[in-house]
A and B are shown apart, each in its own frame.
Chain A
Amino acid sequence: MSDEIILDVKNLSTVITTDRVPVRIVKDVSFQLRRGRTLAIVGESGCGKSVTMQSVVKLVSRNYHITADHVLYRSFRSGAPKEYRLDKLAPYGRVMRSLRGPEISMVFQDPMMSLNPVYKIGDQVIEGLLQHNPGMKKREAWARALEMLKKLGIPAAEQRINEYPHQMSGGMKQRIVIAIAMICDPQIIIADEPTTALDVTIQSQIMELMKQLQTEDRKSIILITHNMGLVAEMADDVAVMYMGRVVEAGPIQAIFENPLHPYTQGLLKSVPVLGMARDKPLIAIPGSTPNPADLTEGCEFAGRCPYCEAACLRGVIPSFEAEPGHQVRCLRSAHGEVN
Chain B
Amino acid sequence: MPGDAILKLRDAKVWYPVTKGVFRRTIGHVKAVDGISLDIRRCETLGVVGESGCGKTTLGKAIMLLEQITGGSIAADMDGQFRELSSLTTPEKLRYRKMVQMIFQDPYAALNPMKKIYTALEEPLIVQGIRSREEREAILASAMEMVNIPLDYLFKYPHEFSGGQRQRICIARALETAPSVVVCDEAVSALDVSIQAQILNLLRQLQRERHLTYVFIAHDLSVVQYMSDRIAVMYLGKVVELADSTALYENPRHPYTQSLLSAVPLPVLGRRKRRVVLQGDVPSPIDKPSGCPFHERCGKCKEICKTVEPALVDRGGGHLVACHLED
Q: Which of B163, B221, B271 touches A200 (beta carbons < 8 Å)?
A: B221
- Stretch from B134-142, B191-199, B309-317 at the A interface: B191-199
Given A44-B194, A267-B193, A274-B221: A288 in contact with B165 (beta carbons within 8 A):
yes
- A188 on interface, CB distance cutoff 8 Å: no
Q: Is B259 an interface residue (CB 8 A)?
A: yes
- The docked-state distance in angstroms from the alpha carbon of A266 to that of B198 is 12
Count how many chain B residues have C-beta atoms less than 8 Å from C-beta atoms of the other chain: 45
- Contact between chains at B266 and A289 (CB < 8 Å): no
The answer to whether the Cβ of B268 comes within 8 Å of any Cβ in the partner chain is yes
Q: Within 8 Å CB of A276, what residues of B?
A: 226
Asked if B269 CB lies within 8 Å of chain A CBs, one says yes
**A201 interfacial contact with B, CB 8 Å:** yes
Considering only residues 255-279 of chain A, those with a C-beta below 8 Å from chain B are 256-257, 266-268, 270-276, 278
Contact among B193, B225, B271, B280 with A226 in the assembled complex (CB-CB below 8 Å): B193
Cα–Cα distance between A131 and B271 once the two chains are bound (Å)? 43
Please tell me if A63 contacts chain B, counting CB pairs below 8 Å.
no
Cβ of A268 and Cβ of B267 under 8 Å apart? yes
Chain A residues near B221: list those with CB within 8 A.
200, 274
A81, CB-defined interface residue at 8 Å: no
Count residues on chain A whose CB falls below 8 Å from chain B CBs. 47
Q: Which residues of B contact A231 (CB under 8 A)?
A: 267
A232 within 8 A of partner (CB): yes
Report whether A201 and B194 are in contact in the complex, using a CB–CB cutoff of 8 Å: no
List the A side residues contacting B200 at CB < 8 Å: 272, 282
Q: When chains A and B are docked, how far (Å) is the Cα of A229 from the Cα of B269?
A: 9
**What 4 A-B pairs have minimum CB-CB distances, sorted nearest first?**
A229-B265, A228-B267, A272-B226, A284-B197
* Contacts from B to A (Cβ < 8 Å): 51-52, 162-165, 192-198, 200-201, 204, 219, 221-223, 225-227, 245-246, 249-250, 259-269, 271-272, 275, 277-278, 280-281
11 contacts between A and B (CB under 8 A): A44-B192, A44-B193, A199-B51, A201-B259, A202-B51, A204-B277, A253-B269, A270-B197, A271-B197, A278-B226, A284-B198
Contacts A229-B266, A232-B269 given; 9 further ones with Cβ under 8 A? Answer: A171-B281, A202-B281, A203-B263, A204-B275, A228-B193, A229-B222, A232-B268, A274-B266, A283-B197
